[in-house]
Amino acid sequence: MRAEKHGAEGGLWPASLGWLFVNRLQVALYILCLPHVLLYPYMVWAILIVGAASHFHLRLLAKWLQTEEARLGHEGFVRLLGEKATRVLAVPGAIVILLESSIVTLDYLEITHHVLFPSVSKLTLLPLMWLASCFLAGYGMPAAGRFVVMAFLGSIWIVGLFLQFFFPPVANYRYLLPLFPQELHPGTPYNLLMLWAALSGPQYLAFVGHRFAPGSGMYRWLALGNALSVAEYILFFLAVTLSFGSEYMRKLDYPVVQLVRYIQLPFFERLETIVLPVHMVLYIFLNGFFILFVRDALRVAAGAARKPQRWHWLAAAAVLWVAFVYVMGRFFWATETQHLFWIHVHMWLAGAMYALVPSFLVLAAAWRKRRSTNR
Amino acid sequence: MRWLIRLLASLRSAPGTEEERENAGTPARGSDMETLKKSFQNIHDAEILELENERLGKITLLYIRSLIDINQLQEFVIAPLQKAAGTDLRDTVQAAHLSALEGLDQAETAAFKGAVILHAGGRLWGISLSSSLSRAVEPSKQEAVIHGPQDSFTEQVENNLTLIRRRLAVSALKSERFQLGGLSHTTVILLYIENLTNPEFVRIAREKTVSVKSDAFFDSSHLSQFLEDHIHSVFPQFQQTDRPDAAAAALASGKVVWLVENTPFALIAPITFFDLFQSPEDYIHRWPVSSFLRGLRFFAFLFAMVLTPFYVAITMHHYQMVPLDLLFVVLESRSEIPFNPFWEAMFMMLVLEILKEASLRMPSKSGQTLGIVGGIVIGQAGVEANIASNLLIIHVAVTAIASFLIPNYLMTNSSKLIQFGLLGLAAWLGLWGIIIGLIMVLIHLNGLTSLKQPYFAPLTPFYGIDWKDTILRLPLRWMTRRPAWLKTLDPNRVKSGNSHPEPKG
């Protein structure tokens, strides 16, 4: 079993758990807000279509992960792009990661502030999230990678809470109509872009390919993760649509969170008070991962990638991360308009990165291979 | 001709070759013995005896009277020497533990370990005749089981080794002896099974043991704190057991065991978080019962950590979570309490910890009285005086009982500390605070290692095959392989061994 061969030490995590990475990276960002954007029941087909596109796109990622360059890590990128280009590209790479990470974190803090702590500033919760993320990053990439299992187990059970909304009397199946529209609403391209951005995330695996154990079966694991994400998005979207219908959903801020409020247990109600904090495990996993990416990007940019690992790179990345989030949250996320602006930025950025990174790397690897064969 | 006969006789009777005999021990000078005698001055029970032997010449015996068995000394050493039975010391003294000593330091240490030092023929010899001060092998008090083996380790390291060797009667069970502590000279024995235990574990264990620097070790816990990978963690990274069957089972599964002199506890590593919730009785019950009990222990661990902080979070931040009927009960219970739930819970938890600590230090009969006074009188009086609510008393009591379900004492104490941390977070940020606290605990467990191996295996990293014996305990006959995370040289437990009956006669 691959998991047993590569699962423990030596900075490796099992390739067969690659599906967990794909799945958790894909659902962390948009699972709470996507139904509100998609709105119309026929958008379920859009989830399937974009999911299929992502499915095929992952083939490119799997292809890249099988290349010699991916396996070599930093040295592979140097071989592919050259020393100078690698160092130069590390800077925008770090900025993109910081931007994405900040938007994702602030969006989560915004929801938490809105639902759980309306009287507390959203930035009050930031230090604890930062501490937890740094704590995870402090154990290094192998341990942060292993944490994906905890992120998965800690959050997957939430899906089970929504199953009850598929059955009458809560579920109203008339809300599913029209399942095939007469004409598409004007916001459809925007929705498709958002869906594509929602399924982004696996592109980050391209930079840690050397920590995987890539084999010929890598694609099937990535595809499994993608299929699970698509199933989750459909399940959440259908549960919300069946319960609220498009018209009422339009008026709700976070319909997924609102729906959780309807769950009643003998001892507890208002389960969003538990679900929303539990969802944080994904953000901490993601941010710990991102801080390590920023650390490596800083080292590459400074030309210190081949030198022994020092703690001050991690400290610099952690401080940079929290400064970025704080400044954005404090000065550029004050109004709802700014909030929407940043969501748009994230959507374009994540969508573009997901489309471009694997394609670019595969093309570059193929070009290099061709050039070396011609010689 | 007599000298030739004598020589042939000595060659016949003595163990080892002539070359070995020549190399046995470094020749000692007369001044060495004088130095040794000086270092034993002002020790009232140190005795020096000088004998004149016809064949061996002048023999000096040096020993600490309180450390040796005087009868054995008389019977196996003094009497044969007076009779002048053999031509060589090994022929004369038929003691099993006769060994040549390399120098003064070794001689001094040996004397204080219960050996008689002999200076004969220009050499120093040691005969181990330590008096057996050990208590008898008794049932384990810390890990008591109703069914199953009832023996446990004692303070005598050699006896403990015997208890393990009786269970694993194979030559592959290797034991390496170390002496640690500049003052205590504590004997530590490292045990592992060759061709089974991952050699990397043995190498790390050996290196860690050799690199321990301290002047005295009186307990296995002291040693474990020098061997741990993460010294600031609240979680124990070594399993301590006083049960020989548990130590033997650990060795058979591919782990490494340390036996420490003067300690009835063996250290086991590498371990996982899940190992600390296992009891030897798990393998005695039927598998569904064992699985249920194990599940209950994990639940109790989580319950003990979270229940009181959860109460504080609900009553301070999330009243809306409580159904209306239950909310009335909570409000009525708290209506007369002048403190906020955090201080109320903090006070009661501290009282509980004081009671627990006091009951451990007091004699057992007084301990019962303390339980009654603490549990009933203080609890009842606390409620009547409006210091604590009924509901909180129930929470604290349930927490205390739940914490006793964890079989590992060190783990029980770890959960206490986490509980106080979660209590603070619950008071500050409610359930959000508790959950971020728990996530941090998970991150810590995910990053911990025991003997450089992942502590949270088989969960992270994930080993599906090892889940047969983690929270569930599936039938033993299904456990044909050793834990995969231990990366043993021989992964199969089941061998086509000689399971046929022994022949009669």
pLDDT (average), residues B47-54? 83
Which pLDDT score, from 0 to 100, does residue B500 have? 64
> What residues of B are in contact with residue A278 (Cβ under 8 Å)?
435
Residue A330, domain member (yes or no): yes
Distance from CA of A278 to the nearest CA of B (A): 7
Give CA–CA dist A250/A252, Å, rounded.
6
List the 121-180 stretch of A: residues with Cβ below 8 A of B. Answer: 125, 128-129, 131-132, 135-136, 138-139, 143, 146-147, 149-150, 153-154
With cut-offs at 50, 70 and 90, classify the pLDDT of residue A195: very high
Tally of CA atoms within 13 A in the half-sphere of B233 that contains its CB = 25
Q: What is the pLDDT of residues A90-120, one digit of tens each?
A: 999 999 999 999 999 999 999 999 888 888 8
User: For residue B502, is pLDDT > 80?
Assistant: no
Higher-confidence residue of B4 and A241: namely A241
Distance from CA of A352 to the nearest CA of B (A): 32
Question: Which domain CATH number covers A37?
Answer: 1.20.1740.10
DSSP string across B185-236: -EEEEEEEETTTS-HHHHHHHHHHHHT---S---SHHHHHHHH-S-TT-SS-
Decide if pLDDT at B111 tops 80: yes
pLDDT digits (tens, 9 = 90+) for A71-95: 888 888 998 888 999 999 999 999 9
Q: What are the pLDDT digits (tens) for B209-249?
A: 999 988 888 889 999 999 999 999 999 999 999 999 999 99
Where in chain B are the domains?
12-128, 157-271, 285-453
Phi, psi of B496 (to 5 degrees): -85, 65
| Domains in chain A, number | 1
Query: Is the predicted ipTM greater than 0.90, yes or no?
Result: yes
What angle, 0 to 180 degrees and rounded to 10, lies between the N-to-C axes of helices A126-138 and B409-447?
Answer: 90
Residues above pLDDT 90, as percent of chain A: 52
Residue B16 pLDDT exceeds 50: no
Nearest CA in chain B to A113: B432
Q: Which phi and psi angles does B487 have, rounded to 5°? A: 45, 55
Gap between the Cα atoms of A198 and A191, Å rounded: 10
Gap from B440 CA to chain A (nearest CA, Å)? 6
| Terminal-to-terminal C-alpha distance of chain B | 49
A344 close to B (CB below 8 A):
no
With respect to residue A118, please indicate whether it lies within any of the assigned structural domains. yes
> What's the confidence (pLDDT) of residue B12?
44
Output the six-digit token pair for B410. Answer: 């060190």
| pLDDT tens sequence across B303-336 | 999 999 999 999 999 888 888 888 888 888 888 8
Q: Which domain holds residue A284?
A: 2-352
Dihedral sign, CA of A164, A165, A171, A176? negative
Which chain A residues contact residue B464 at CB under 8 A?
Answer: 1, 3
The answer to whether residue A39 neighbours chain B at the CB level (below 8 Å) is no
pLDDT > 50? residue B17? no
Q: How confident is residue A4, by pLDDT bands cut at 50, 70 and 90?
A: very low
Per-residue burial over B423-436, b if 16 or more Cβ lie within 10 Å, else e, is bebbbbbbbbbbbb
CA distance A286 to A309: 22
- B184 to A129, B215, B216, B274: CA distances (angstroms): 48, 7, 5, 34
Q: Is the pLDDT of residue B273 over 50?
A: yes
Q: Which residues in B lie closer than 8 A to residue A8 (C-beta atoms)?
A: 453-454, 457, 461, 485, 487
Of the candidates A239, A256, A236, A235, the one whose C-alpha atom is nearest the C-alpha of residue A173 is A239
**Could you tell me which of A356, A353, A359 has the C-alpha nearest to residue A101?**
A353
**pLDDT number for residue B463:** 86
Query: Which residues 6+ apart lie within 8 Å of A54 measured at CB?
Result: A196, A199, A226, A230, A354
Q: A interface mutation test: which of B462, B470, B482 has the most A CBs within 10 A?
A: B462
Q: How far is CA A185 from the centre of its chain?
A: 27
The mean of the pLDDT values for chain A is 87
Chain B nearest C-alpha distance from A130 (Å): 11
- Mutation to test the A interface, candidates B233, B460, B486, most A Cβ within 10 Å: B460
Q: Helices (DSSP H) in B273-408: which residue ranges?
A: 287-316, 324-334, 341-361, 364-371, 379-384, 390-403
Chain B neighbors of A281, CB-CB under 8 A: 435, 439, 442
Q: What pLDDT is recorded for position B56?
A: 74
Span A252-309, pLDDT tens digits: 888 899 899 888 888 888 899 999 999 999 999 999 999 999 999 999 999 888 888 8
Per residue in B396-428, pLDDT (tens digit) is 888 888 888 888 888 888 888 999 999 999 999
Q: Is the dihedral of CA B328, B334, B340, B343 positive or negative?
A: negative
Instruction: Judge whether A11 lies within some domain.
Output: yes
A116 touches chain B (CB under 8 A): yes
A266 assigned to some structural domain: yes
Q: Which residues of B touch A146 (CB under 8 A)?
A: 446, 454, 456, 460-461
Question: Would you say residue B50 has pLDDT above 80?
Answer: yes
Using DSSP's 3-state secondary structure scheme, residue B175 falls into strand
Distance CA A140, CA A365 (A): 28
Whether A269 and B463 lie within 8 Å, measured CB to CB: no
The residue type found at A372 is: S
Asked if B460 and A269 come within 8 Å (Cβ–Cβ), the reply is: no
Q: Write the residue in B431, B440, B462 that is nearest to A274 by C-beta.
A: B431
What pLDDT, on a 0 to 100 scale, did the predictor assign at position A277?
Answer: 94
Q: Does B461 sit within 8 Å of A1, measured CB to CB?
A: no
Nearest Cα residue in chain A from B486: A8
Give the number of beta-carbon pairs within 8 Å between A and B: 119
Reported pTM = 0.86
Q: Of the ranges A20-24, A330-334, B256-260, B359-363, which one carries the lowest mean pLDDT score?
A: B359-363
Q: Rounded to a whole number, what is the largest CA-CA distance in chain B?
A: 111
Please give the structure tokens belonging to residue A113. Answer: 């502030």
Q: Are strands B123-128 and B186-193 parallel, antiparallel or unpaired?
A: unpaired
Instruction: Say what percent of chain B tops pLDDT 70.
Output: 89
Dist. CA A202–CA A374, nearest whole Å: 33
Q: In the predicted model, is pLDDT for residue B375 greater than 90? A: no
* ∠ Cα B393 B394 B397 (to 5°): 85
Q: HSE-up of B319 (CA within 13 Å, CB side)? A: 11
Best residue of A6, A17, A147 to probe chain B, by most B CBs closer than 10 Å: A147
Q: Find out whether B71 and B51 touch, Cβ atoms under 8 Å.
A: no
Q: Reply yes or no on whether the pLDDT at A10 is more than 50.
A: no
The answer to whether A9 faces chain B, any CB pair under 8 Å, is: yes
Residue B25, pLDDT above cutoff 70? no
Q: Which residue has the higher pLDDT, B397 or B271?
A: B271
Residue B240, φ and ψ in degrees, nearest 5: -115, 130
pLDDT of residue B21: 43
Q: How far apart are CA A155 and CA A276, in angstroms?
A: 10
